[in-house]
Structure formats: C-alpha cells, structure tokens
Structure 1
C-alpha cells in the first residue's frame, strides 16, 4: 500500500509541470497576429493616408522587400495610376502581376475578384472607404472601391489610385474586365 502511495506521489510530482505548461498563461499568444507588424515600414495600421511617399528605409531594407510601388489599373480604354502600399500584402499582390480579371459588381460602390491563392493579411477597420481604394477582404478577395462611404468591415490595404476621377464611370454598373500591372520605370 505504501508503495502505491509513493508511486502516485512521484507520478503527481512528475506530471504537474507538464500539465501546467498548457495552462491559460499561454493564451495571450493568440492575440499576437491581430497586432500591427512593427517590421513593415510605412504600415502603421491606419495606412489609408499614403503619407509614406518615397520611404525607401534609407538603405536599411537590404533590397529583399523593395519593389516598384507604381501600378496601372486599366479598365476598357481608361488607365489609372495607383501606388501600392509598402506591406507584405501589396508585395504578394505585385508578385501576381500583370493580371487581367473579371471583377464583379457589389453594392453600387465596389468591384471584387477572388484570387486563386491567399495573400498575407494585416486587416483593420478603416471606418471610411475612399474612392480609389484597393483593398483585400479576407485573405483572397481583391476589392476596388469607386465610391466613398463608411464601413465597419475590416480590410488589408493594397494600394490607392492617385486620381480616381472617372473611375466609377469607367467601371460601369456590371461586371467588368480589369487589368493590374506594375509600371516599368
């Protein structure tokens, strides 16, 4: 009987550290992905302003994440210049270009297309969507907005048209073919 008690006590002492290693102290780690990534220059979680123009990290980037951020969006006979964000989502999107897709109409303010692969995300709630915003909804839905409005949805910013004047009429009311391409400078 004493041997059983000693054996149970030894098992308890041995297993206690193992069982507590998976306790609730580890749960806060699940909150990390929703935090802005401090290693992505120019993307501070409210990157709707495009105020990081010309930010080349003063040579600190070692070239692996640098990309041409100038893009053209073509709809029918119309071309619109856009600037890609300096973030992982925009880099992954740019790697897919050039690309011509059919974008579907939604809500009289946006066109969308589901990509065949997922892109990295760092979504946030912009509050106001602006005419000319190019966003990612979820991890594979590219959305081009042609009206300004308030929204409670979360998006990851891909880019912004420099001058979206005429975008709504170029996109029209139904589904439309849109070409995205990096400008060769």
Structure 2
C-alpha cells in the first residue's frame, strides 16, 4: 500500500523530468545548428586583405590567440557567451554582422563557454555575454573616459604591477555600439 502511494508521487515527477529533459535536448541541438554555422570568409575577401590570420568567428577550443592577433597588428574583440544564454542569442546577429565588417581590420572572435570552459577561466568573466577588447599591439584597450562611462567599460589592473590586464564590457552591445568602440581603437570602417 505504501509502495503504491510512492509510485503515484514518483511516477509523475519522473515523467515531467523526462519531458523537460527532452525539450532541452531538442532545443540545444537546434540552437547549436543555428549558432554554430561558421561565418565563412570567402577567398576574395582574404585575398584583398594584406593581413594574414584566422578571421573565422568561432574559437572552437583553447584560448584566444592574443600573440597571433598582436603579430598581425590588428585589435581583437572577443565575445564570451553561450548558446543557452538568451541575451547572447539576441546579440548573435549583431555580432556576426560586426564580424563581417571587421574582416581584415580586426579579429572578432566568439567563445562559447559551455563548449570551451577553459577559455573563460583565463578572463574575468562574471556574466555572459562579456566582451574583451585588445589593442593592435596586444595590450588591453584603454578607452576614453567618455566611452568608458557611456558603455560601462571596466578595466582590470594587475594587483602588483597595476598595469592594465583587461578591458571588458558585460552585457549586450549592438553593432553600432561595437563600431563606435573599435573606431576609438583606431579601426576605420
């Protein structure tokens, strides 16, 4: 009798959990196929660029290659996000369009922290989306006071040397805002 009561309680819970699990699995797969479509740089764009480097959008694994970006003499913007993050999905079309405009002018990269958690451990990622900005020489971008206040850009300094280590923005940025930031970084449209 007691076993019957337990089954009446446990069985509906198990069914609900199974349905919720199937929903998330199904949606995760559809999100992966839509957001992991690599933004391909066609050969004519690459041929027209004087700068060599990997201008693909996604960082599949490992850390962003800051030394490679600095050798190319181009600034880098790295967006940390996730396919499961609604603000990240809202920002995705803006970021992809921005990426297409910056090919050959700046490295614009995206790191999915669910797929590449080690990359997020190397940076001060507290929320997603978070963007990190580096100058063409590989140093952290130091924005003007006006730009810093306008977009709540935060600068992190080394505890001992007090030298800048990161310049970040937490949250959504649209393409126009990203273009304004990189313009101050010295990138021309």
Common fold by TM > 0.5: no
- Looking at secondary structure, tell me which structure has more strand per residue: 1
TM-score, normalised via structure 2 length: 0.28
Greater RCO, CA 8 A, separation 6+: 1
Larger radius of gyration: 1
- Looking at secondary structure, tell me which structure has more helix per residue: 2
